[in-house]
Amino acid sequence: MENNNEVKRKILFSGVQPSGNLTLGNYIGALRNFKLLEDQYDCLYSIVDLHAITVRQDPTELRKRCLQLMSLFLALGLDPEKSLIYFQSHVSQHCELAWILNCFTYMGELQRMTQFKDKAAKHADNINAGLFDYPVLMAADILLYQADMVPVGQDQKQHLELTRDIAIRFNKIYGDTFTVPEGYIPKVGGRVMSLQDPTRKMSKSDPEDTFVAVLDDPNVIRKKLRRAVTDSDNSVFYDPENKPGVSNLMGILSALTGDSMEAISAQYDGKGYGVFKDAVADAVIAELEPIQQRYQKILGDKAYLGEVMTRSAERASRMAMRTMSKVHRKVGLAAYKL
Ligand code: TYM
């Protein structure tokens, strides 16, 4: 029987900071899934520039990186007709909701956030209130759109749990207001590790040789992967505790090819790490090269970028306004029109 009722699609939200070279970790942990999930959800992908200024940024550099990240989102093959790709700062309701959610978040909760502790240690001269409040803005990003699904890497799990706690708390006080979101954290590749110290997360703020950047030249990618720290066993099998370097490379290969760890072991064990590392490099280059080519073209097309960012922000604002008017009503703020 034909069903004339339009089925409401679930909503997906994710954000990425425009704060430096995006890495293979960002790509495998999050960006790659943006494209893979695009057809199943109504998606919003935000360049979270307001999050980026919690640490000092050079204004000219930041502006440049924002446009670069937007071009990269589009180079992933995301369809701006379907998905909204926009700057967080262009939709003022993110901040508005963050303020309200601040009043429903406890200091103790924010003090427990490991990312805050890490960043505070790294930027000891600038432990500002924004850095502390960062997870509440992130909760606002997600709850503003009633998102069902949030694709992120493992390092954002704690922030996502806080978002859920805030939503549940608010709903308990005021009745059903926010959708409580689920995280989408890949089982393989949710935490890609540093190439030089595979017990640490791969991070864009670490030295160049510890990460592959999404925009690295293929020769550089191969060189970095060949130099990745492994061990002296010369055996390819998955054991993150005792063989973190090899296991990390296996994770990268498995995430990109879909091959299981067993299959990778069977194919490369006994062939020497050189052959194995080259296979990893081949897979990474095959994945990133087409994106890099599209990226260069898109970055040059300022009119197109402008059009996508404006239209997306307008559409996002309309969605945001619906949530904000509901929140105002629930909290008891006076109506705009009496
Ligand atoms: P950001 O900009 O640090 O990172 C972007 C995404 O990349 C993931 N990621 C990794 N995944 C696997 N292995 C790694 N080594 C690795 N490094 C980074 C991150 O988990 C993230 O998904 N707070 C967020 C941005 C944000 C956001 C949001 C995300 C703001 N508001 C709302 C989702 C929903 C952040 O700093 O990501």
pTM of the predicted model as reported, rounded to 2 decimal places: 0.95
Phi, psi of 7 (to 5 degrees): -80, 125
Query: What pLDDT sits at residue 259?
Result: 97
Ligand 1 atom nearest to CA at 142 = 32
Please tell me which residue in 10, 35, 204, 326 is annotated as part of the active site.
204
Residues of the chain predicted below pLDDT 70: 1-6, 336-338
186 lines ligand 1 (CB under 6 A): no
**Ligand 1: which of 152, 159, 179, 195 to mutate, most ligand atoms within 8 Å of CB?**
152
Rounded to whole angstroms, the Cα distance separating 158 from 10 reads: 23
The question of whether 330 is a catalytic residue gets the answer: no
- Maximum separation of any 2 CA atoms in the chain, in Å: 76
321: its two tokens:
């306004």
Query: What pLDDT sits at residue 21?
Result: 86
Residue bearing tokens 């690295």: 216
Ligand 1 centroid distance, CA of 175 (Å):
30
Query: What pLDDT sits at residue 334?
Result: 86
131 lines ligand 1 (CB under 6 A): no
Query: What pLDDT sits at residue 335?
Result: 77
Ligand 1 centroid distance, CA of 116 (Å):
14
| Residue spans of alpha helices (H) in the chain | 24-26, 32-37, 49-52, 59-75, 93-102, 107-111, 114-122, 129-143, 157-174, 218-226, 244-257, 261-268, 273-299, 302-331
Ligand 1 centroid distance, CA of 17 (Å):
7
Rounded to whole angstroms, the Cα distance separating 234 from 210 reads: 21
One-letter amino acid of 328: H
Query: What pLDDT sits at residue 285?
Result: 98
202 lines ligand 1 (CB under 6 A): yes
Query: What pLDDT sits at residue 2?
Result: 40
263: its two tokens:
């299959």
141 lines ligand 1 (CB under 6 A): yes
Strands (E), 145-214: 149-151, 182-184
Neighbouring C-alpha atoms within 13 Å toward the C-beta of 108: 0
Query: What pLDDT sits at residue 8?
Result: 82
Query: What pLDDT sits at residue 5?
Result: 54
Given a contact cutoff of 8 angstroms between Cβ atoms, the answer to whether 314 and 44 are in contact is no
The question of whether 201 is a catalytic residue gets the answer: yes
- CA dist list (Å): 239 to 43, 197, 319: 36, 15, 45
3-state secondary structure of 13: strand
| pLDDT tens digits for range 189-199 | 999 999 999 99
- CA dist list (Å): 81 to 39, 78, 130: 12, 9, 33
